[in-house]
Amino acid sequence: MDRNENILAKSKYVIDKAFEIDPDLPEAHVALGYYYYWGYLKYPQALEELEKALKKQPGNSEAFYLAGSVYRRAGNLGKSKKYYLKALELDPRSSRIAFNTGQTFDLLREYSTAQNYYNTAIMLQPDWVYPYHELSRLHLRWSGDTKKARETIVNEIHFNQANAFDSLIIETIILINLYEGRYDEVFKVLSAYKFKVFQNQFYYRPKYLYYAANYSLLNKPDLEHLYYDSARIFLEDKIKKLPEDPRLYSSLGIAYAGLGIEMKALNASQKAVKILPVEKEAWKGVFLVEDLAHTYVLLGKYPEALKQIEYLLSIPGNLSTKILEIDPIWAPLKNLPDYKKVIEKYTVN
C-alpha cells in the first residue's frame, strides 16, 4: 500500500470536493473511511465514517465490506466476520467479498467454513488467482495435505494458463516441494523464473532466501552461506530506498541469522516487529512475529522461538500446528520438552 503523502493529500482533496457537492453522500463517507484505513491505519476514524454511510444507506455493501476489513486489521475478527457476512448477503455475486470472508474464517482457523467461501469465490470468478492460492495454502494449514494443495494449483492453472507465471502461485509450488522434501524440484522452479523477489503486502522474500534454505536442507553450508549473504546485500540495498518498510527488516533478520550474525539478526527482526506490531496491524503483524521466530530458530534459540510460536497460535493468523509439523524450518523445535504440549493445545480438527 502506497502511503505517499502527496497521493494521500490528492485523495483527501477529491473526497472533500465530493462532500462540498453533497455533505451526506454515503460514497464519500466510504471513501473517507478508506482514506483513514489505508492511509493512516486510523481504525476508529474509519469506522466512524462507515457508520455515517450506513446510517444514510443501510444497504451499502461496500461500507459493510470495508468495516469488515477495518475490524480485521484492528484484530477484532469476530466483528470482521459479522460485517463480511452482511456484505456478502447484500452482494452475493461478489467474488471479492466471498474471498475476504474466506480469509477471515481462515485466520480464525475455521478452515472448513473458509474452504466453502474460497470455493464460492472461485465459482464466481474462476480465472482469479488469489482464491486458488489461499485455498491451496489452506490445505497445508488445515491438514498438511500437500497433494490437495498441489491439485488446487493445477486446477487454477487449468482455468487460466497465464496464472502459471504468478509469483504467489510459483512460491506455493516451491513451498509444497520443500514440505515434500523434493529439493531438486525447488531448484528447478527457482531457476525457471527471472523475478528476484516473492512479495505481497505481508512479506518481501528475495529468491536468495529460498536457495539458502534449500542448500541448508541439503547440508551444503558453503552454498547456504553464499545465498544468505546475497540476500543480505540485496536487502541492505533495498532498505536504503525504503527505510520504513518492516518487511525488509524482517527478511534481513533471517539473512543475518543464516550467516550467524546474531546481534544484527535480532536487531533487524525486532525492529520489524516494533515498526508494525500486532497491536497496530493484526494481520501484517503476525508475519513479522513469525519471521522473528524463524530468526530465533536459525540462531539456535529454540525456547525463544517456541515462545513466539505459541503466541502466534493463540491469536488469529496463518500459522498452524500442521505447518509446524511439515515445514522443515521448525524441525529443531520438536526436541523441546514443551513442543508436544503446544501442538496438542492448538491443533484444530
- How far is Cα 223 from Cα 63, in angstroms, rounded to an integer? 51
pLDDT digits (tens, 9 = 90+) for 211-233: 999 999 999 999 999 999 999 99
160-187 average pLDDT score: 90
Q: What is the predicted pLDDT for the residue at 45?
A: 96
DSSP 66: H
Q: Does residue 105 surpass a pLDDT of 60? A: yes
Closest CA to 289 of 136, 88, 181, 304: 304
321-330 average pLDDT score: 98
Q: What is the predicted pLDDT for the residue at 12?
A: 85
Average pLDDT of the residues of the chain: 94
Closest CA to 8 of 45, 53, 46, 38: 38
Rounding to the nearest 10 degrees, give the CA dihedral for residues 58, 59, 62, 64.
Answer: 60
**What does each C-alpha distance from 128 to 63, 115, 122, 165, 168 come to in angstroms?**
23, 16, 7, 13, 13
Q: What is the predicted pLDDT for the residue at 156?
A: 76
Q: Comparing 1-91 with 196-349, is the CATH topology the same? A: yes
Element (H, E) at 324: helix 321-326
Element (H, E) at 227: helix 221-241
Q: What is the predicted pLDDT for the residue at 5?
A: 78
Percent of the chain with pLDDT over 90: 84
Closest CA to 306 of 287, 290, 293: 293
**Which phi and psi (to 5°) does residue 132 adopt?**
-65, -45
Q: Does residue 163 surpass a pLDDT of 80? A: no
Domain spans in the chain, listed from the N-terminal domain onward: 1-91, 196-349
Please give the class, per CATH, of domain 1-91. mainly alpha
Contact in structure between 223 and 232 (CB atoms under 8 Å): no
Q: What is the predicted pLDDT for the residue at 2?
A: 54
Residue 159 confidence class, pLDDT cut points 50, 70, 90: low
CATH topology assigned to domain 196-349? 1.25.40
Which three cell numbers, joined as nine digits, stand for 75?
484484530
Contact in structure between 80 and 72 (CB atoms under 8 Å): yes
> End-to-end distance of the chain based on CA atoms, in angstroms?
35
Q: Does residue 1 surpass a pLDDT of 60? A: no
Task: Decide: helix, strand or coil at residue 93.
Answer: coil
Percent of the chain with pLDDT over 70: 99
